[in-house]
Structure 1
Amino acid sequence: MYAAVGPITVHFPERVETNAELKAAFPHWDMDLIYEKTGIGSRHIAAKNECSSDLAYAAAQKLFREHDIDPASIDFVLLCTQTPDYPLPTTACLLQSRLGLRTNVGALDFNLGCSGFVYGLSLADGLIRAGSAKRVLLLTAETYSKYIHPEDRSLRTIFGDAAAATLVEAAERPTLTAFQFGTDGSGADTLLVARGGARPVEDAIKPRHRHRWGSDLYMDGPSLINFTVAAVPQLIENILTAAELGDKDIDLYLFHQATLKMLQQLRERMSFSEDRMPLALEHCGNTVSSTIPILIEQLRREKHLTIGMRSMLVGFGVGWSWAGCIWQESWKKA
């Protein structure tokens, strides 16, 4: 058996933070310039007592309800998050109980961020091909806002909180192929949270450059852009080679939605037209591991994805970590 991407549902926290609100709170912030660079006009922000498991739970419940999926049919839960509820226990285990899933299911957290959705698809694909599962519930959930200081202009204007639930199920023919991965841990100092783990803060990885803001989250945007513009074109070439395809065979390039500036640089570098590399970040921001499923859900809802269309999925960022694959749409809403 092979794996196919079934229905996807998205859940955002209720609170919406707009650029206008930030401008009112911080009149010295040039929100017009920030919008021009990020392409982000608003973000959803989790409440103080609202965590990744809450967002993932809501997304999964929506998936079950809207697509008439029996929770008892789920064989495995994969949760990608870099903001788990606790260092332990595993958040996926908490979700198994809260969702009322069988106790003979697998449940696994994995911490990858921006490349996480593609990694999750590869894990689900492997479980199904191995015969270990027929239906995998792939959850992505992030609450980066909890790492960001309110006065941090560089991060607060970019990251939003969200979760997505994706059903990956057995199919008769392959729809996910040519997975390719990349890792360069030397870039760990460009996007990190040094607190909260077992390593003492005084012995932790140091930010690559001066840590200008009070956030626990540190990001070196220019270094991340340089890494991305260098790594992603080679990744695309590797995927096409592995799939024995050419650029003309790809209908859409569905990239991690980092910022408009970064995506524009990639688009120019690869000479992609705007219609082949769609965006979905203006009203939700960079939601880390959830950006690609949010993009797919939007394209499906707007009927820009039809059965048989071939897309390339590409994730990249924190780690440094990058991953991509070829995906052929096969799901039709009942």
Structure 2
Amino acid sequence: MRGDILGIKSYIKAVAGYLPGKIEKNDLTKRLTKKTGIYERHLADENECASDLAVQVAERMFAQYAIEREQIDFIILCTQSPDYFLPTTACLLQEKLHLSKHCGAFDFNLGCSGYIYGLSIAKGLVETGQAKQVLLLTAETYSKYIHPGDETVKPLFGDGATATLIAAVQSDVEGIHSFEFGTDGSGADSLIVPAGALRNPYGKTSIIEQVDDYGNRRTNYHINMNGSEITNFALNVVPETVQNILGKAGLEKRDIDYYVFHQANKFMLDFLQQKCELQGLPFWNDPSNCGNTVSNSVPLAITQLLEAEKALALGKVMLIGFGVGLSWAGCIVDLSHVPR
């Protein structure tokens, strides 16, 4: 996709991932493990928060790509597990990462579609001249929301963080483009922590324990997920999203160098590849060592892809995220400016 004139375009210039050191392995004999293809997950320690993971991955990216932190104009954090209700966790990260006090900082609360939203925000900041370099962070500790006795979600979710540098480039070719967004708030109850925030406040809302027919336990203070509803939702919205993105970019399916979807689980990704008629095309599907890491999953997959496909041109990579909200989003990115 080409711009009308030579001007400022936003490009991904660096990307890094971080997984906590604590590893919990799934039971390889369980049907759920075989179906999802998730063999282990990385979990934050009891006293480890989203900002701690974000610091680890940002420092890793700064060192790996020799990035001058004082040149960062904006820091954006996507998380649904902030350190505090207030202040904004991104403000804490400005201090922890020793960024300039002239650096803008804010959080936004989104799950599996959040990385795409973050790229859109960063693109807007860069291409309107408000920033030259934007640090987009994702960090989640979903494990803290999961009841230890709930085997419907416990084997699925892992913790982690990612860092992406979006920077201005003089070019007539778009580096991040063809965005597509969607929302269906009627499905909010399909993936929710019902109690603990201000609608049903902690300390004023009674703890209600639920036990399903299979002995899985959860309370209204833990993640409650309707897996079949989430799967049906994804199978319904993702194929149309793929077509809409291709239409906006003026591309055919075979023109895309790689498809990188939210790494929910192998079963869902296999099904989506078929439903979107992408068999035989480059399609990333590997949640095996980290599980569903929510907003981290797409950028973590990008780091894996860059490592695995060092010789492959990645000028047109389609990214799609979908999940909690219900929310979905997608775009096309040019990864050729990321050193390998």
Q: Same fold (TM over 0.5)?
A: yes
* 1:320 corresponding residue in structure 2: 326
Residue type at the aligned position of 2:108: F
Task: Check the 8 A contact 1:162/1:290 in 2, yes or no.
Answer: yes
* 1:186 corresponding residue in structure 2: 186
* 1:227 corresponding residue in structure 2: 233
Alpha-carbon separation, structure 2, partners of 1:233 and 1:264:
13
| Residue 309 of structure 1: how far off its partner (Å) | 3.0
Bigger helix share: 1
Alpha-carbon separation, structure 2, partners of 1:332 and 1:91:
27
* 1:63 corresponding residue in structure 2: 61
In structure 2, the CA distance between the partners of 1:133 and 1:305, relative to structure 1 (3 Å rule), is farther
Task: Check the 8 A contact 1:191/1:318 in 2, yes or no.
Answer: yes
| Residue 297 of structure 1: how far off its partner (Å) | 0.5
* 2:155 corresponding residue in structure 1: 157
* 1:27 corresponding residue in structure 2: none
For the residue of structure 1 that corresponds to 2:116, the secondary structure is: helix
1:194-273 alignment, distance < 5 Å:
194-200=194-200, 213-214=217-218, 216-273=222-279
Count the aligned residue pairs: 322
Residue type at the aligned position of 1:67: Y
1:31-70 alignment, distance < 5 Å:
31-70=29-68
Residue type at the aligned position of 1:65: A
| Residue 329 of structure 1: how far off its partner (Å) | 2.0
| Residue 97 of structure 1: how far off its partner (Å) | 0.7
* 2:9 corresponding residue in structure 1: 2
Task: Check the 8 A contact 2:266/2:286 in 1, yes or no.
Answer: no
* 1:82 corresponding residue in structure 2: 80
Residue type at the aligned position of 1:100: H
For the residue of structure 1 that corresponds to 2:153, the secondary structure is: helix
| Residue 94 of structure 1: how far off its partner (Å) | 0.4
In structure 2, the CA distance between the partners of 1:189 and 1:175, relative to structure 1 (3 Å rule), is same
Residue type at the aligned position of 2:24: E
Residue type at the aligned position of 1:325: C
Q: 2:148 matched to 1:142?
A: no
* Runs of 5+ consecutive residues of structure 2 not aligned to the other structure: 1-7
Alpha-carbon separation, structure 2, partners of 1:309 and 1:2:
14
Residue type at the aligned position of 1:18: K
Bigger strand share: 2
Alpha-carbon separation, structure 2, partners of 1:248 and 1:67:
32
Query: What do the CA deviations read for 1:226-281 (whole angstroms, capped 9, x no partner)?
Result: 11100011111111111111112112111000111111111111222265111231
* 1:11 corresponding residue in structure 2: 18
Give 1:120's match in structure 2, choosing from 102, 107, 118. Answer: 118
| Backbone CA RMSD of aligned residues | 2.1
Q: Which runs of 4+ in 1 moved over 4 A?
A: 201-204
Residue type at the aligned position of 1:68: A
In structure 2, the CA distance between the partners of 1:194 and 1:263, relative to structure 1 (3 Å rule), is same
For the residue of structure 2 that corresponds to 1:133, the secondary structure is: coil
Task: Check the 8 A contact 1:307/1:332 in 2, yes or no.
Answer: no
Alpha-carbon separation, structure 2, partners of 1:139 and 1:277:
24
Give 2:336's match in structure 1, choosing from 321, 330, 334. Answer: 330
For the residue of structure 2 that corresponds to 1:156, the secondary structure is: coil
Alpha-carbon separation, structure 2, partners of 1:264 and 1:306:
23
Task: Check the 8 A contact 2:19/2:159 in 1, yes or no.
Answer: yes
Alpha-carbon separation, structure 1, partners of 2:258 and 2:306:
13
Task: Check the 8 A contact 1:4/1:330 in 2, yes or no.
Answer: no
Alpha-carbon separation, structure 2, partners of 1:304 and 1:17:
30
Give 2:316's match in structure 1, choosing from 296, 302, 310. Answer: 310
Alpha-carbon separation, structure 2, partners of 1:332 and 1:237:
27
| Residue 200 of structure 1: how far off its partner (Å) | 2.2
